[in-house]
Amino acid sequence: MEHHQIKIRKIKLKNLDEFSQNALNDPAYQNLAPISLVRAGSQAKNPLAKPDDISLLVALCNGRCVGYHGLLPGILKIDENYSKVYWLVTFYLDAGFRGQGHGKHLVSEIQNTAVDLVTTGITAGAEGAYRSMGFKTLGDLPYYQLRLDRLQSTHTPFQYGDNKPEQPNVFGLIFNRFGRWSYQLKKQMVYGIVFQKLKAKKNIFKSRLVNRLDEELSSLLAQQSPSASFHRDLDTVNWMLQNPWVVSRKDAAKDVHNYYFSRVRDLFKLVALEIFAPDGNTRKGFLILSRSHKKNKSVVKILDYNFYDPQDAFIAGYFGIKYAKDLLADRIEYPENLNSFIEEQPFFKRLIKRKKRLYLFYPNTNDSPLAVSAGKIKLDYCDGDTAFT
């Protein structure tokens, strides 16, 4: 096997945007771009980062890019103490350079940054590389998917996975008799029936569509923040809303075309809603979701939500279903806390799939903040770069 010699270039946050612009016309990056313009521009505005934080490592061989590893600076909150962590993201190595230790070389260089490290949402290949370099399991985060695309099968939503109908009624007979109806029509009927049931709930709150969350919500995020968690304050949420690094195709500006990680979808939209009591003035909380469409699959993800009264969390589920209905989404993805609400809706129970997301970590020292608090941290659906997707 041919062994390639590679050099690692480290890019600091303060140079990230300029680096990405220069890379457009640099021959070293014509075959493999290490970051997109839209992602670099967004990460450069990260409110949890400092200018000298390392944000990208580039592997070069004979003057050309053959791999890269992104870093997303973040904050670990333990009670009232805050410490830096690096989220490991966008790990990629050209196929011709795999199996020769170059991936481990990249990871080793990150370990030399002397910062607590954590990662999630990784491939099996990346997991193997991380574990071989001493990364350990921090935890598994459960989440759920409502898979309307199961309606494309020959089963009806009342029979899926079971020979007995879940709810033997007139709608089940309709599906059985007219099984040749289009998938789109099936989705339309299911969403319509479910949302008709939920309409009465609309009378107990009002909503306001916003581009950024109001400063008054800062206290809510502080109030609801777990004592041990990866910090996500109002500035962080608004950074995500105003600087997405995934864009709709119609909004995509000139950018790199050889970046491995997706930056363009047929449709991508973040939706932020502030929720009020029926008087329209008393704040109840907020929620953020995303709508996307790619390769004939549309997905609504319920991302952030916080409410002064935890019993109002169902409102996030309500709007998830509403926007999915408007999009005729194939799937709704949502945090574990919303599953009881989603599960109780007509026809949904048989369409739900439980998933989990692995977290790995590598503490800077045996007594670093991440090392001593690893068993206490409450994981969240929006940890790392998940909220940008």
Q: Is the pLDDT of residue 176 over 80?
A: no
- Note whether 85 and 167 are same-domain residues: no
Percentage of the residues of the chain whose pLDDT score is greater than 70:
91
User: In which domain, by residue range, is 70 found?
Assistant: 7-140
Q: Are residues 155 and 98 in the same domain?
A: no
Q: Give residue 285's pLDDT band: very low, low, confident or very high (50, 70, 90).
A: very high
What value does the mean pLDDT take over residues 256-277? 89
**271 lies in the same domain as 200:** yes
Cβ atoms 60, 28 nearer than 8 A: yes
Class of residue 328 by CB neighbours under 10 A (exposed 0-12, middle 13-18, buried 19+)? middle
Boundary residue ending a domain (84, 113, 140): 140
Q: Based on the fold, state whether residues 11 and 99 are members of the same structural domain.
A: yes
Radius of gyration for the chain, computed over Cα atoms and rounded to the nearest angstrom: 23
- Is 164 found in the same domain as 116? no
**Beta 264-265 vs 267-276: how paired, if at all?**
unpaired
Query: Across the chain, what does the average pLDDT equal?
Result: 90
**385 belongs to a structural domain:** no
Domain co-membership, 278 together with 130: no
Token pair for 151? 């309606």
Answer yes or no: do 113 and 200 share one domain: no
**163 and 117, same structural domain?**
no
Q: Which residues contact 26 (CB under 8 A, 6 or more apart)?
A: none
Asked whether residue 367 is domain-assigned, the answer is: no
Boundary-marking domain end, from 140, 166, 183: 140
Which is nearest to 272 in space by CA: 316, 206, 209?
Answer: 209
Q: Is residue 374 included in any domain, yes or no? A: no
Which tokens go with 98?
């795999």
Is the pLDDT at 253 greater than 70, yes or no?
A: no
Q: What is the identity of the amino acid at 78? A: I
Which has the closest alpha carbon to 70: 33, 27, 101, 34?
A: 34
- Residue listed under structure tokens 């670099």: 40
In a domain, 379, yes or no: no
Closest CA to 286 of 347, 349, 241, 328: 241
Domain assignment present for residue 384? The answer is no
Residue 366 domain-assigned? no
- Do 131 and 201 lie in one domain? The reply is no
Inside any domain, residue 389: no
- Residue 324 corresponds to which amino acid? A
Q: How many domains does the chain have?
A: 2
Q: What does the pLDDT look like over 368-378, one tens digit per residue?
A: 999 999 999 99
Check if the beta carbon of residue 102 is closer than 8 Å to that of residue 96.
Answer: no
Residues 258 and 291 in one domain: yes
Q: Is 265 in contact with 294 (CB distance < 8 Å)?
A: yes
| Alpha-carbon span 102 to 109, nearest angstrom | 11
CA–CA separation, 91 and 109 (whole Å):
13
Q: What is the pLDDT of residue 170?
A: 54
Domain assignment present for 98: yes
Taking only the tens place, the pLDDT of each residue in 120-143 is 999 998 999 999 999 999 999 999
Looking up residue 70, the CATH number of its domain turns out to be 3.40.630.30
Nearest Cα neighbor of 65 from 56, 74, 52 is 56
Is there a single domain that holds both residue 113 and residue 177? Answer: no
Say how far apart CA 92 and CA 106 lie, in whole Å: 10
SS3 165: coil
Q: In this structure, which amino acid lies at residue 201?
A: K
Pair 120, 219 in one domain: no
**Interior angle at CA 330, CA 327 and CA 331, nearest 5:** 100
DSSP conformation class of 212: S
pLDDT in tens, 288-323: 999 999 888 999 999 999 999 999 999 999 999 999
CA–CA separation, 389 and 333 (whole Å)? 11
Q: How many other C-beta atoms lie within 10 A of the C-beta of residue 76?
A: 20
Boundary of a domain, candidates 140, 157, 181? 140
